[in-house]
Chains A and B, each alone.
Chain A
Amino acid sequence: MLEYAKSNRREVIAAAVLIVLLATYLGTHPRGASTYVMTIWANQCLILGLAACAQFFAVVVRGIDLSVGAVMALTNTIASYLLDGSAGGIALGMIAVVGAGALCGLLNGAIIVFGRIQPIVVTLATASIFVGLALLLRPTPGGAVNYDLADAMTLDVLGIPTALIITAVVVFAFWLPFRRTGLGLGLYALGSSEQAAFQSGIDTRLVRLAAFTLAGIFAGLAGLFYSFVTTTGDAGIGPGFTLNSIAAVVLGGVLLRGGVGSLVGALAGAFILKTIASLMFFSGIPSLAQPLFEGLILAGAIAIGGADVLRARNKLEVFK
């Protein structure tokens, strides 16, 4: 157990911070730890959490995905057309929404791999295209999502917020098994040392393509879940999510240089960010000062993570 905590230090710290924040939040919330409060909190967390998962897959292969928010906006607008009507139609619609996310990710990956252009630049450009497509679909916010489905996804099951159950499914049914596959290890290998991965016989192009496709899938899931929460389509939701997803993965212990971190960390980072924002809302800090405090806390958290280097006794260590 101690060994596990040591080798997953970053995730453990992130989880501990999250628990403290959540306890404070529930303690200060006027309505206490009710299912209602938990549900609203969990829904907000999961939207950013899924976006952070998307960002994680790009970052772990030493990339970055600036189109996460744009893919969310696009899938959200698609969802606002497809998630109403017959049960079968809705099911197909959900598949189509996530499939659209996967296609966006595949496009990013294909341009990065075959065009040999840096991910940051590619996704900057494709983000513009995706937002344009979203605007074509919904020039102004509108559309609808089946209320029963939206309720089922965003309320609770036996008092447990559905969003938390979805989080658990992502971690236990997807991530932990995935980590044991060749693709799962291959992502880390590619991000950690592309040359070593290649010489170990890994098809680096295929793995990178898969990483960005996974990023697209999770951005699509984030857009889908966002649709359940808001029940409308809006092409303008993107920018905030892209930048916050980057902040979230970093808070969750994922290194931007690639190869280090986990999906659990990315989720924890997102939950931390959202919990801070929620805490702020009930904290009694004047509302005008809240953005500043959020910024200060974000900067402080990141700076503490960076303070490690001040202890480095060998000046060359910091260049790793």
Chain B
Amino acid sequence: MFSEPDSIFPAFIVLLPVIAFVLTLFLGKKFPHGGAYFPIAAIAGSFIISLGVFLEIYPDKIVQQSLPWFANMNIGILIDPLAVVMLMMVTFVSLLIHIYAVGYMSHDPAKPRYFAETALFTAAMLGVVLSDNILQFFISWELVGLCSFLLIGFWYHKPSAAAAAKKAFLVTRVGDVLFLAGIVLLYVNLNVLINKGLFTPEHGNFILQFKTMFEAAKLIDPTQLTFITLLFFGGAVGKSGQFPLHGWLPDAMEGPTTVSALIHAATMVTAGVYLVARTFPMFAATPATLSPGVPDSLLIVAYIGGFTALFAATMGLVMNDIKRVLAYSTVSQLGYMMLALGTAGAVVGAQAVGISLFHLISHAFFKALLFLCAGSVIHAVGTNDIREMGGLFSKMKITGTTMMIGALALAGIGIPFINIGTAGFFSKDRIIEGTFEYGEKTGDMIPYAFAIIAALLTSIYIFRLWFMAFTGKPRSERHPHESPNVMTRPLMILAFLALIFGFTHLGFYGYLEKNFELMGVEVAGHEGEAAATSPIVVLLPVLVGVLGFLIAYAIYYKRILNMSKIVSSNNPLYKLLLNRYYEPTIGADMIGVKLTHGVVAQSGEFVDRKIIDGLIIDNIIGKTTFCLGEIARKLQTGVVQNYASVTLLGVGLLLIVLKLVGGI
């Protein structure tokens, strides 16, 4: 019933939240909780439809629907394994966060606006996931960006929130422009191929459909293809906060915590990873010129991802704002997902999509959990600063326990060989093993080094956070209390998932592996023989996780080291990290304010205002036009005899004109 070619249900996955958006925006204030029930009901509906679609198409069917839009563009729906797991994750996490937000936002007067915007956001994100062509993908992608801007700046009266929203918008815009350029370049290339008769789309005329793109990928000039995929990756870098466009994501924490959990941890930021996974066959088809056997684009994806994973983890170590720690952690984990696409893609081909997506989904669960726990803590103590917390565990048992589960999942703790462990244990450790296999195959161990060091740092910063917040003596005069049920229940559900989701890994990899096969697309790549990995490789990721825990335990719980000395001294490394490698200075102040605004914009303004507006528009065009307008206005005398004369005069003039040109 859900997956027939003409079923209307798949479209309603997106339409329900859109309807909820309209209803909440206009009628929200007349309903309890700012109309929160509209989006909750709608997203629950979307979740049920997604689940129904999944049950019907599992294990080897896909849903494809398409309508002509204009010219050779279409609007369409494509639900393949990749899309369906994303659909279920997005709707489910979004549903839980909406429920939680009923409690979290209960004191905010602008609730209808909040719920309307999150509903629109969910719709846009689902639109990204469902798109069967790159143009529709891009439009939804932009809408996602817009919602993110609105929600980061939700408390727009706070200057820092307004600034963060602006920064997020501008930085991701850099990526979006690259992405759009990639689409244009692709379109041009496809048209050239079609006009030369080298390529005839098998699936109708809609040339920006993913299928057609993949079919054509082999025919496009290899250098152009590398450019196209790297431009796409540029979009992904912006959206997923990869180096060097990562700076907006930690600042985005100025929005409500629920927004951070929904958008900047679980869903929107994964859109970049999803883009690379979605267009993976094109990445895999790029030529290998830099490193033998590894497509260039995948190599770059791997390096950027691996570097980001490590780079962001170092900053996570020193942040004092609970949400910023989690934000850097998100950047770092997204780096892992990119790393998986890049390295595993070179070793096991299309399986890489499964490996990356598995981490994406498990990350969505435990990161949403961590953020919501952080929200619960902030709700209780009224501050974001972990230096002012401490000893919360006795007051907030549920939050403390669930957050510990989230931390264990993030650190990837589990028992190797018998395969019991948290979600992160299965997902992240598989990525790290993948980088090792990649290293063995190509002799390039740098990505592995990135991954394993980042894993150690991950474990340290997350347990530092937990110990500082929940143990020790309270460091400020506050009276924390456990959050209401509407907030703790979602925590428990997410914690449960963070614990057990990992056990689905074999089925998950197997299902996702067939993704491109089901679309009838062959992925260039390497038939994956996962080489028998040595025990130490399997063990090492868990060992560094445990080591990180012990270090954090020793420093922040047992206090064998006096951190205040390291922190307060003029330690240059500490300063470098705390100042986020001076990224705000370089990015915002120098590139943003001084260069772009100061030099480019000011000179543009001078030319525009003084020369074009002042001289040309005002004096020449403006005044002439106004004069003509005035003259014409006076011609309109209001006397009907004049009107009749003009009409007849017109007839006479027309005759004369015809006489002149026609010569009759």
* Pairing of A with B: no
| A residues apposed to B, CB below 8 Å | none
Chain B: residues with CB nearer than 8 A to chain A? Answer: none
